[in-house]
Every structure is written in structure tokens, then in C-alpha cells.
């Protein structure tokens, strides 16, 4: 039962489901749920929430504690501050982190905890580097992922496309999504790996508006400190990149304020 619940975060299971699966009474299932909940809380792995009524049941909510998030992000900042990660042009190498399932799951759980109360219907990102984090976040939120393409290839039917300007390079790019991927009037959480000026995030927001979607939040793994004024508001980065000094071979990276706040 613990494995089923933890492998499907925010999925509601009725007591009847477990009663029929394990061939036992609902009272026994209720007692087991209480034990599982106490164990999850004791080891700070999350919580079990129960609902009553005909559609009632139990669901696992993976809420990572703030101090655990702060500790993990501090370690991640230290790892990403290795001078060997500096790329030509003043860029930061982080592909190994974004392609490591353990790291991505940790990042996704923190972002999911941040936006859990916003109750998104789906997580939205643009290919390609933000996809692993979006998938992990959606897993813990218990919702699907929708990925916008950059090339406009009609591989899944009619597309909705927009042109947007990247804030950093001022280049015009195209972002597309198939019409059948998004239900009008739903709620979306935008997730991306990196934000500099916010042009890509604003492009995603504009694309979602074509579907009359309510954007409930924007989360990114790393945001640069400069420019201070981004093209989007109310975004939540996990880390802030203050700068990369190629001459001194130094990376200045720190946890975002909301991560370290008491």
C-alpha cells in the first residue's frame, strides 16, 4: 500500500480499492493508513490526506520540509559553483544535473512543494532542457506535462504558434503547441531550467493565453540576478546566479530568498 501511494502522488485511492486489492475490511485498511501516515511524517517524507464521502479516499502528498530543501539547495549551489563548470562565453554547465534522475527528482519535489497549493492541472515547459524538471515536478504534483516545441513541426495535428523575443539575445523565436494538448480554462504551472531576462517564460505565458489558461505560477531552477527587472513577475527560482567571472575563474551562485527564509 505504501508503494502504491508513494509512486502515485496526489492520486486519490478509495478505501474500497485497497479493500478489494488486499481482501480485507475497510477498518483494517484505515488502521494501516494511520500507520503509514505516522511513518511518512516521522521520516519527513510527506503526508497522507484523507477525504470523506462517496468519492472519498486517501492520497499521498510529498511535502518536503523547508530545512531539507534549504540543505539540498545549499549543497547543489556548492556543486554548481565548481569553476570547471564555466563554459566559453560565460555560461554554466548543468546538463549533468538536469540528466541525473536523483537530482531532478529532488529538484522536482521542491518545486512541487512550492506550488502544491496552487493546484495546477498541468505543468508547461518548452523543449528541451526544462523537460526533465517539468516531468519530475508534474510527477509529484500528480498532473501531466505539456511541452511546447520550438520548430513548429506539425507532428500531432494542428498547432497554435507564437513568435517571441528572447530577453538576453533579442532574437525572435517560434514556440508551438498542438491544439489538442491543452484544455481551455485549465490551470498551468510554468517550469523551466534557466531564466535570464524572462523572454522565454513570457513567451510561454502568451502561448497559454491563446487557450484562456490560468497561469498559477512560474518556477525555474536558476535565475540570473541581472537584469533585476524580468519580463515576467511572480517567478520562483531555486537558485540565483549572481555572476560568472571567467577571468577569476569564479561562479557566484546562492539559494533563492524563499528557500532560506525562516
Question: What is the chain's mean pLDDT, rounded?
Answer: 93
Half-sphere exposure of 89 (CA within 13 A, CB side): 4
- Band (pLDDT 50/70/90 cuts) for residue 120 is very high
**Burial of residue 184, with CB atoms counted within 10 A of its CB: 0-12 exposed, 13-18 middle, 19 or more buried:** exposed
In this prediction, residue 155 carries a pLDDT of 59
Per-residue model confidence as pLDDT tens digits over 98-109: 999 999 999 999
Per-residue model confidence as pLDDT tens digits over 164-219: 888 666 788 899 999 899 999 999 999 999 999 999 999 999 999 999 999 999 99
Q: Is the dihedral of CA 102, 103, 109, 115 positive or negative?
A: negative
For the chain, the domains span 2-61, 66-260
Does 206 or 89 have the greater pLDDT score?
A: 206
Mean pLDDT of the region 87-106 = 95
In this prediction, residue 128 carries a pLDDT of 86
The grid cell for 241 is 546566479
Per-residue model confidence as pLDDT tens digits over 125-164: 999 899 999 999 999 999 999 999 987 665 567 889 999 8
In this prediction, residue 52 carries a pLDDT of 83
On whether the CB atoms of residues 36 and 30 are closer than 8 A, the answer is no
By mean pLDDT, which of 51-55, 131-135, 191-195, 249-253 is the weakest? 51-55
In this prediction, residue 40 carries a pLDDT of 96
Does the domain at 66-260 match CATH 3.40.50.2020? Answer given as yes
Distance, in Å, from the CA atom of 218 to the CA atom of 1, rounded to the nearest integer, reads 33
Residues whose CB falls within 8 Å of the CB of residue 157, separated by 6 or more in sequence, listed in order: 178, 179, 180
65-99 burial, b for 16+ CB within 10 Å, e for fewer? Answer: eeeebbebbeebbeebbeeebbeeeeebebeebbe
State the CATH class of domain 2-61: mainly alpha
Count Cβ atoms below 10 Å from residue 38 Cβ, excluding itself: 11
Distance, in Å, from the CA atom of 262 to the CA atom of 259, rounded to the nearest integer, reads 8
Mean pLDDT of the region 250-258 = 97
Does 53 or 108 have the greater pLDDT score?
A: 108
Confidence check: pLDDT of 17 > 70 = yes
Amino acid at each position: 500500500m505504501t508503494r502504491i501511494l508513494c509512486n502515485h502522488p496526489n492520486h486519490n485511492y478509495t478505501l474500497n480499492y485497497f479493500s478489494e486489492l488486499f481482501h480485507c475490511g475497510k477498518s483494517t485498511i484505515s488502521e494501516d493508513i494511520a500507520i503509514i501516515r505516522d511513518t511518512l511524517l516521522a521520516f519527513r517524507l510527506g503526508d497522507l490526506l484523507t477525504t470523506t464521502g462517496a468519492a472519498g479516499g486517501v492520497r499521498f502528498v510529498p511535502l518536503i520540509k523547508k530545512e531539507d530543501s534549504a540543505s539540498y539547495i545549499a549543497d547543489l549551489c556548492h556543486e554548481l559553483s565548481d569553476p570547471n563548470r564555466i563554459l566559453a562565453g560565460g555560461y554554466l554547465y548543468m546538463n549533468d544535473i538536469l540528466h541525473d534522475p536523483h537530482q531532478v527528482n529532488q529538484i522536482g519535489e521542491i518545486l512541487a512543494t512550492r506550488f502544491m497549493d496552487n493546484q495546477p492541472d498541468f505543468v508547461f515547459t518548452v523543449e528541451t532542457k526544462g523537460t526533465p524538471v517539468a516531468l519530475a515536478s508534474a510527477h509529484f504534483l500528480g498532473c501531466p506535462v505539456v511541452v511546447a516545441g520550438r520548430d513548429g513541426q506539425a507532428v500531432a495535428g494542428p498547432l497554435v504558434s507564437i513568435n517571441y523575443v528572447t530577453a538576453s539575445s533579442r532574437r525572435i523565436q517560434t514556440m508551438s503547441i498542438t491544439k489538442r494538448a491543452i484544455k481551455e480554462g485549465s490551470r498551468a504551472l510554468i517550469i523551466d531550467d534557466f531564466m535570464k531576462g524572462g523572454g522565454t517564460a513570457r513567451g510561454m505565458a502568451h502561448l497559454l493565453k491563446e487557450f484562456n489558461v490560468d497561469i498559477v505560477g512560474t518556477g525555474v531552477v536558476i535565475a540570473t540576478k541581472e537584469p533585476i527587472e524580468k519580463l515576467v513577475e511572480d517567478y520562483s527560482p531555486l537558485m540565483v546566479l549572481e555572476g560568472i567571472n571567467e577571468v577569476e575563474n569564479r561562479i557566484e551562485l546562492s539559494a533563492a530568498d524563499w528557500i532560506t527564509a525562516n
